[in-house]
Chain A
Amino acid sequence: MAIAEIILDATLIGLLLVMGLGTLHTRRTGASIALFAGFGMILALVWARLGAPDLALAEAAIGAGLTSALLLRAASITEEEEISIPARRQWLSWLFVAVVFVWLALHVIRLSTPVDSPSLPNLVAGHLADSGVDHPVTAVLLNFRAWDTLLELLVLLLALLGFRQVARRNQHPYDADSHPAPWPLLKAWSRSLAPLLVVTGMYLLWRGSESAGGAFQAGAVLAAAFVLLRLSGQLPVVHWSRWTVRLAALVGPALFLTVAGASALAGEGWLDYPDGMSTPLILLIEAAATVSIAVTLAFLVSGEEEDIAE
């Protein structure tokens, strides 16, 4: 291992652990969330270092960006809680963590030997030509393991439904004073950033069949553009009662289910695309899934006022 690699790994791992510990144990909530966002960005770099550009893109948009926005929003509407752990029990619990870590490490370290002829990746590489796309991760997500992706879209939909069910009554009346007016620079920046984000999202979707990118990354970036414009007050409140919004949230899972059902009834079997139709079907599903993911994530992150306005 080259010395430069050791320095890079040590820096990344050190930052990860310090920021991870900091986000849990720092005193102020604001600092904790800022550290969490930083943690996500470092993690995105780690994914890039480990040869996973798809993950790096998804982590930067979802893990670091949207999750931090969610946490900030939750922190702004809930009260600051006091954090107090009895000091004498604290070292004991850390000692316990250290013992468990050493015990696990002895077992896990055996897993780290390189695998020369792995069975599953070889299978993926062998069938990549039949999958209809050129990028192995996209092929796994939308062809070989399309079941997982379909269920994942349903999980996202379920989260949205649960999100809307909880606490719809008993809302505090909307208090305009508690939301500070958007900062002029934020307004100006978001106006030029949002179109760039839309272009980037479309590019990620389009490139997804050949290289890193795809529906999830594109959807997350589009959701980020929406949240940015909402936060700077340049988009109106989006009401769930509008049928276009509901249709956009449903189109991905609905289209995916239709394709799955049609292939089960008329074709080879559940989610077994007919020969030659793989590429257009995957592109169609990805495009619809991007719309649904973008709308759902945007709703999960900035859907609070919508309830109050009802």
Chain B
Amino acid sequence: MSRFGNLGARLYKGEVSYDFIGKAKTWYAVSAVLLLLSLGALVLSGLDFGIEFQGGAVFIADAPGGTVAQARDAVLGAGVDAIGEATVTKLGGDSIRVETLALDLPESTVVREALADALGIAPDEVQRQLVGPSWGGEITDKALTGLAVFIVLVSIYLAMTFEWKMALAAIVALVHDVTITAGIYALVGFEVTPATVVGLLTILGYSLYDTVVVFDKVRENTRNILGSNRWTFAQAANLAVNQTLVRSINTSIVALLPVLGLLVGGVFLVGAGALNDLALVLLVGMAVGAYSSIFIATPLLVQLKEREPAVRAQKARVEARQALVSPAAGATVTGRELPGAAGAAAVISRTRNVVPVGQRQQPKKVSRERRTTPPPKKRP
């Protein structure tokens, strides 16, 4: 912990800095490849929709000692023609799951009784689910409506709380997350159930949660930035990402731990089920969401901001000045650990950043002192 804590401290101070913004093109490339793969998989192999989306019947029997073969024979021998092919699987515990094509009520009763008979249990101990073919479609339709409404509302909210460029960047990251998550589903061939849809919708909230935390820090770091010559917008944003890195990692870990619990509970205690589907999609989605809030949303925001003439002009000013102070530092804060003069630049900028409201009245004086007498290296 202590090393991690120290890392947090050094990230915060800019002593250790990863250039998330400067390497934006790399991340974009990575994401572009992932997106292309996802879209390709979605188009070519498509999603594997569960019976909730196609219509069908599922029977789950809790029968210790029952075998898959017994269940299959019973179901196929029940004399119901509509049954088509039965998929019989053994779940965790003693449960056997039988999936068939759509049945009507009397047919399902016949099948249920045959199954119960073969497994030596009472018919009402067999769980039955009959799904009409349109049900999953409805769930999806509603979910898509919800998605649209949510995106509109949250864009308005973010645009009001932050600014519309942040809203746009956050929404792009959101779409990115959902697409990649869906793509992974198509690629790996996980089954899509209504629970998956639920999980996907949760990712929306979560992806934005992460992004909001980072953007909040960006906003703080870039307040009044146009009147300052210390930082470019990009550098301030990069510092924000670095400063919130430990937080992002922590929140992601803490968010994923319960999901892990769900996965454990789902797999070992109930077998395949809603818990499982939900946990899986959350696991994938949250991981992608954590990635995008750092690697996609913030660089995108910087790009959007740098389209503003004022931000560009300020950037040119700051870069000229930084080149003057420390040619080695270059336009952006680079390198893993900033040595010497570059460190000085970082520290100067940091101090600018951390000066609280009351102190901001005379920042120039502070920085001028700093410039003439660089502080000692901060290596412990």
- State whether these chains interact: no
